[in-house]
A and B are shown apart, each in its own frame.
Chain A
Amino acid sequence: MTVMSYLGAIGAAQKEAMLADERVVIIGEDVEANVYGTTGGSGKSRASEGDFLQQFGRNRIRNTPISEEVIVGAAIGAAMTGLRPIVDLSYSSFLYMAMDQFVNQAAKNRYMFGGQASVPVVFRSAMFYGLNTGAHHSDRPYPMFMNVPGLKIVTPAYPSDAKGLLRTAVDSDDPVLIFEACVLWGSKEEVDENEYRIPFGVGRTLRTGTDATIVAVSGAVPEAVAAADALAEEGISVEVFDPRTLVPLDVEGILNAAAKTGRVVVADPAHRTCGAAAEISALVSEHVFDALKAPVRRVTTPDIQIPFSPALEKQLYPNRKSIADAVRASVGARPAGGNGSVSTPGADAEALSTGAAR
Chain B
Amino acid sequence: MLRIRRFDERASKMVKRGAIPGTVHTSIGQEAQVVGACMALGDSDYMTGNHRSHGHPIGKGAPLGPLMAELVGKSDGVCKGKGGSLHLADFAVGSLGESGIVGGSIPIAVGAGLSSKVLDNGRVALAFFGDGAANQGNLYEGMNMSGVWKLPVIFLCENNQYALSTPAHTVTSGVIADRGAGFGMPGVRVENGQDVLAVYEAVAEAVRRARAGEGPSLVEIVTYRFNEHSEGLRLGVDYRNQDEKAEWVSKDPIVLFREELIRRGVATAEEMDALEADVLREVDEAVAFTDASPFPDPSVAFDDLYTDSKFAVHTYHSSSFGTLENVR
A residues engaging B (CB < 8 A)? 23, 25, 59-60, 62, 64-65, 67, 69-83, 100-101, 104-105, 109-118, 149-150, 152, 172-174, 200-201, 247-249, 251-252, 255-256, 259, 283, 287-288, 290-291
Interface residues of B in 89-132 (CB under 8 A from A): 89-91, 96-97, 99-101, 104-119, 121, 123, 125
Residues of B within 8 A of A73 (CB): 104, 106-108, 110-111, 138, 142
Verify A114–B78 contact, CB threshold 8 A: yes
Q: A69-B107, A73-B106, A101-B107 are in contact. Are A110 and B307 (CB under 8 A)?
A: yes
Q: In the complex the two chains form, is B316's CB within 8 Å of A251's CB?
A: yes
**Number of B interface residues, CB 8 Å?**
62
Q: Which of B140-169 contact A (CB under 8 A)?
A: 141-142, 144-145, 148-149
Contact A70 B99 (CB under 8 A): no
Measured in the bound complex, the distance between the Cα atoms of B91 and A287 in whole Å is 42
Q: Given that A73-B106, A77-B112, A81-B115 are contacting pairs, would A115 and B324 also be in contact in the complex, using a CB cutoff of 8 Å?
A: no
Asked whether any CB of chain A lies closer than 8 Å to the CB of B77, the reply is: yes
Q: Tell me the number of A-to-B contacts counted with CB atoms below 8 Å.
A: 187
Contacts of B316 in A (CB 8 A): 249, 251, 283
CB neighbours (8 Å) of A59 from chain B are: 117-118
Known: A80-B111, A174-B308, A252-B321. A74 touches B327 (CB 8 A): no
Cβ–Cβ contact B138 & A69, under 8 A: yes
29 contacts between A and B (CB under 8 A): A23-B119, A70-B141, A73-B111, A73-B138, A74-B111, A74-B145, A77-B48, A77-B108, A78-B114, A78-B115, A80-B111, A81-B46, A81-B112, A101-B104, A105-B108, A109-B97, A111-B305, A113-B82, A115-B304, A118-B307, A174-B307, A174-B308, A259-B324, A259-B328, A287-B321, A287-B322, A287-B327, A288-B324, A288-B327
A152 to B117, CA, bound (A): 28
CA distance A297 to B84 in the complex (A): 44
Are B313 and A247 interface neighbours, CB within 8 A?
yes
Q: Are the C-beta atoms of B114 and A77 separated by less than 8 Å?
A: yes
Closest to A110 in B: B304
Q: Is the CB of B111 within 8 A of A76?
A: yes
B263 to chain A, nearest CB (A): 41
CB proximity of B96 to chain A, nearest CB, Å: 6
B209 within 8 A of A: no
> 6 smallest A-B Cβ distances: which pairs?
A77-B111, A73-B107, A114-B79, A114-B80, A70-B141, A77-B108
Least CB distance, A281 to chain B, in whole angstroms: 14
* Cα of A64 to Cα of B147 in the assembled complex, Å: 12
Please name all residues of chain A whose beta carbon is closer than 8 Å to the beta carbon of B313 when the two chains form the complex.
Answer: 149, 247-248
Contact B101 A80 (CB under 8 A): no
What residues of chain B lie closer than 8 Å to A172, measured between beta carbons? 307
Select A113's contact among B79, B104, B149, B328, beta carbons within 8 Å. B79
Whether B79 lies near A173 (C-beta < 8 A) is: no
Instruction: List residues 240-290 of chain B with CB under 8 A from any CB of chain A.
Output: none
- Contact A82–B119 (Cβ < 8 Å): yes
Q: A74-B114, A252-B321 are in contact. Are A114 and B327 (CB under 8 A)?
A: no
Q: Given A74-B114, A83-B119, 14 more contacts at CB 8 Å?
A: A70-B110, A73-B108, A75-B111, A76-B107, A77-B109, A77-B111, A77-B125, A83-B114, A110-B307, A112-B82, A117-B96, A118-B307, A287-B324, A288-B324
B323 within 8 A of A: yes
Tell me which residues across on chain B come within 8 A of A152, comparing CB atoms.
306, 311
Q: How far is the CA of A63 from the CA of B310 in the complex (A)?
A: 36
Instruction: Report the Cα distance A200→B312, complex, angstroms.
Output: 12
Q: Does B215 contact A (CB under 8 A)?
A: no
Contact of A70 (CB < 8 Å), options: B48, B97, B142, B323:
B142
Of the candidates B109, B111, B117, the one whose C-beta lies within 8 Å of that of A79 is B111
Instruction: Indicate if B291 sits at the interface (CB-CB under 8 A).
Output: no
**Bound-state Cα–Cα, A249 to B320, Å:** 14
